[in-house]
Amino acid sequence: MRNKLSKLFIVLAVVCTVSAMTVDAGAQRRRQSPRARGYTKAEVGVIIARVENRSDDFIKLFDKALDRSGLDGTKREDNLNERARNLEKSLDDLRREFDRKESYIATRPEVSRTLNIANEIDKVMKRRRMGGETERQWTLLRLELNTLADVYNLKMLR
């Protein structure tokens, strides 16, 4: 009887220990950042496509908002529109290099350049009122850009 109880106790102890380790490992996986999980090239391609689509929507609205602002017809408006075109060009370069290269991580310099340009626009968007829809589109684009920054382990837009 005592032998059976000892064996039962040992089996229960082993089961509890294994269960505790499994729960702990699951908790660790949930705490990992998106960077730590790794991405496939196809997944990153989808993120880049979302950034491209959001940027198209934003740039059109940004241009219209500038035309309706007190900056219309000024050198400052021209400079801001140029920044928006630079963002579009940078995204085009990123897409071209992404499609050309085998590993998505090889396009890190292009993503960094894109984020630097986006950071300049972000500063403008924080200082100026551009209208609800333009600001909403920027917020959506910024979220996608930050996802991209996270994937490439780069500094996010604030």
pTM: 0.73
What's the domain range around 81? 39-151
Q: Does residue 43 sit in the same domain as residue 9? A: no
Q: Would you say residue 142 has pLDDT above 90? A: yes
Q: Does residue 21 sit in the same domain as residue 51? A: no
The residue ranking higher by pLDDT, 54 or 70, is: 54
Quick one: pLDDT band at residue 73, thresholds 50, 70, 90? confident
DSSP states of 36-95: HH---HHHHHHHHHHHHHHHHHHHHHHHHHHHHSTTTTSHHHHHHHHHHHHHHHHHHHHH
Cβ neighbours around 118 below 10 Å, total:
26
Residue 45 half-sphere exposure toward CB, CA atoms < 13 A: 11
Examine residue 158 and state whether it is found in any structural domain, yes or no: no
pLDDT in tens, 30-60: 444 444 468 999 999 999 999 999 999 999 9
The residue ranking higher by pLDDT, 110 or 74, is: 110
Residue 71 corresponds to which amino acid? Answer: L
Cβ atoms of residues 157 and 118 within 8 Å: yes
Examine residue 157 and state whether it is found in any structural domain, yes or no: no
Q: Does residue 123 sit in the same domain as residue 146? A: yes
